[in-house]
Amino acid sequence: MPLHPARPRASDDEYLEVHPEYASELASRPLPRLRLPDQSTAPRIAFQLVHDELMLDGNPRLNLATFVTTWMEPEARALIDAAVDRNLVDKDEYPQTAELERRCVSMLADLWGNDQRTATGCSTTGSSEACMLAGMALERRWRGRGAAGRPNLVMGANVQVCWEKFCRYWDVEARMVPVTEGATHLTPERAAAACDENTIGVVAILGSTFDGSYEPVAEIAAVLDALQAQRGLDVPMHVDAASGGFVAPFVDPDLIWDFRLPRVQSINASGHKYGLVYPGLGWVLWREPAALPDELVFHVDYLGGDMPTFSLNFSRPGAQVAAQYYTFLRLGRAGYRAIQQACRDTARFVADQVARLGPFELVSDGSQLPVFAFRVRDEVERYSVYDVSEAVRKRGWIVPAYPMPRDLQDLHVLRVVVRNGFGRDLARTFMDDLGRAVEHLEAGGGRVAPDHRAGFHH
C-alpha cells in the first residue's frame, strides 16, 4: 500500500463543510478535516460526508486498468457482510471459517494438479503476501542445503513489483532477466543461464501484468531438468499464477503449467482477481509439507489439536474466504469456464476492433489472459498513448498507459483488462468512446504534458 504523509496538502481546508441539507442539531458547525472532531456526529451526516468524498473515485466497472474483481452477486455480498466480523486467525473461536479455508485449499490443490492428501497451503491478503511466503520458503530451503553466499532469485524483468520487494526485504539478489520485443517475458534458455549454486528458485508468471501473456512454464521446467542433469543444480520453480491460476485450468485445460510438473514446488493466485472475489484475498499452495520448511510454520492449539499457520499478517476478516467458498460452490468448473471464456472472447473482440481503428498496433491480443496491450504506431506524431489514456478518461474509462519493462522501456503501451461484468455492450460503448477520442486527438486535441500524466505502476 502507498505511504501517506500526514502533512496537509495545499488543497486541504481545515474543515469539512456540512451542507445545509445535511444539517441537524448534532452538526451545526464544520467538522475538522485532518484531526479528530471534539464531538460526535450524527451517523447520517458522517455517512453522507464520506459518501460524497468517495464519489470522486473512478467508477470501478469502467476501470480497465485493474485485475481486481469489481462485481459480485448480492448473495456473495450478503455472506461478506455476515462474515466480516470473524477474525480468520482465531481458528478456535471461528472453527467453521477455518474449515472453509481448508476446503478451498483442497479444491485448489485438485484444480492445480496436486494430490489433495499431500498439498498444503493457506489464504493470504492477496498475491503479494502469497509471493512473499513462497519466496521465504524457497530461501529457507536453499539455506537448509548448507549453501553459502548471497542467495538469488531468477525471474523476468516483467514480474510484478512484489517480487522486487521480496528480494529487497529479505536481502536476496533479484536476477532480472531482460525482455525484448520478440519475447516480452522470461524464456527457458535465459532462465537457465541466470542460475547458479546460489539460486533459490526461478519464478515463472502465468499471465504477465504488462501484456497478459503466459510464460512457458513447462519449457522452463524442462530446461531446468537438463541443467540439473548436466551441472547438478537442482533449482525449484514457483509459479506466480496471480491471474492465470483461475483462467488456464478452465479455458486452457491442456496447458501443463502447475503441480503436474515435478519441478514446480509452489503456486500463488489471487482470489480477488479472476478468482472472482472482492479484495483482498490470495492463495499460496506448496506441493507437499517438505516444500514448506517447518521452522517457518507456527503451531497453535485448535480445538484440542494442532493447527499450523503461516502468514505475514495476523488479524484479518474471514469474509473473503467465505466469499471464495461460495463462489466455488456457486460456479463450479462449468461456471468458471463459461465466465473466463466469455472474458477472453470479449478481450479478443475488443483487441480486434482496436487494431481496425488504424492508429494502433497490438502488442498482445487477449488470447491468453483476457488482457491485451497496444501501442500507437510510429507514424502517428500528433499524440501518444498518454494522450489517448487521458482522452478516454473524460468519459470515465480508466485505461493505463505505461512503458514496458526495462530493456524495452522505449515501448509505451495502453492495456485493457477484461473482467467478469465487462461484456459486449460495454465493450462496444468503450470502442465508440475510443474512436471519438482518436478523432479528437487527430483534429488537434491537447497533448498531456509529462508531469501531468496519470500515475500508473505494476
Assigned domain for 69 exists:
no
End residue of a domain, out of 327, 357, 381: 327
Q: Is residue 26 part of a domain?
A: yes
C-alpha cell at 239: 509459479
Q: Quick check: is 193 in a domain? A: yes
pLDDT of residue 6 exceeding 80: no
Average pLDDT taken over every residue of the chain: 91
In terms of residue numbers, what domain contains 263?
74-327
Q: Are 265 and 237 in contact (CB under 8 A)?
A: yes
- Clarify whether residues 166 and 93 are in a common domain: yes
Q: Pull the grid cell for residue 78.
A: 450478503
Q: What local confidence, expressed as pLDDT, does residue 41 receive?
A: 87
Cell triple for residue 321? 474466504
Give the C-alpha separation, 118 to 149, whole Å: 32
Q: Do 212 and 244 share a domain, yes or no?
A: yes
- 300 and 368 share one domain: no
Among candidate residues 327, 356, 373, the one where a domain is terminated:
327
Which comes out higher in pLDDT, residue 185 or 30? 185
Q: Is the pLDDT of residue 358 over 90?
A: yes
Cα gap 447→403, rounded to integer Å: 17
Same domain, 283 and 387: no
Decide: 421 and 70 in contact? Cβ < 8 Å: yes
- For residue 338, tell me if it sits in a domain: no
Regarding whether 409 and 265 lie in a shared domain, the answer is no
Residue 448: predicted pLDDT: 61
Tell me: pLDDT of 266 over 90. Answer: yes
In a domain? residue 195: yes
The stretch 257-263 carries a mean pLDDT of: 98
State the amino acid at position 154 in one-letter form.
Answer: V
Number of domains in the chain: 3
The answer to whether residues 101 and 230 belong to one domain is: yes
pLDDT, tens digit, for every residue of 61-80?
999 999 999 999 999 999 99
pLDDT above 60 for 155: yes
Q: Is the peptide bond before 455 cis (omega within 30 degrees of 0)?
A: no
Please say if the pLDDT value at position 7 is more than 90. Answer: no
Instruction: Find the CATH number of the domain harbouring 212.
Output: 3.40.640.10
Q: Is 237 helix (H, G, I), strand (E, B) or coil?
A: strand
| Within-domain flag for 64 | no
Whether residue 95 sits in one domain with residue 7: no
- Quick one: pLDDT at residue 456? 56
Q: Do 211 and 116 share a structural domain?
A: yes
- The answer to whether residue 52 scores a pLDDT higher than 60 is yes
Q: Is residue 355 part of a domain?
A: yes
Q: What is the DSSP string of 341-371?
A: HHHHHHHHHHHHHHHHHSSEEES--SSSSSE
| 316 close to 125: Cβ distance less than 8 angstroms | yes
144 found inside a domain? yes
Q: Which residues contact 61 (CB under 8 A, 6 or more apart)?
A: 70, 71, 421, 422, 426
What CATH number should be reported for the domain holding residue 390?
3.90.1150.160
Per-residue pLDDT at 449: 54
Judgement on whether residues 248 and 122 belong to the same structural domain of the protein: yes
The angle formed by the CA atoms of residues 370, 372 and 378, to the nearest 5 degrees, is 170
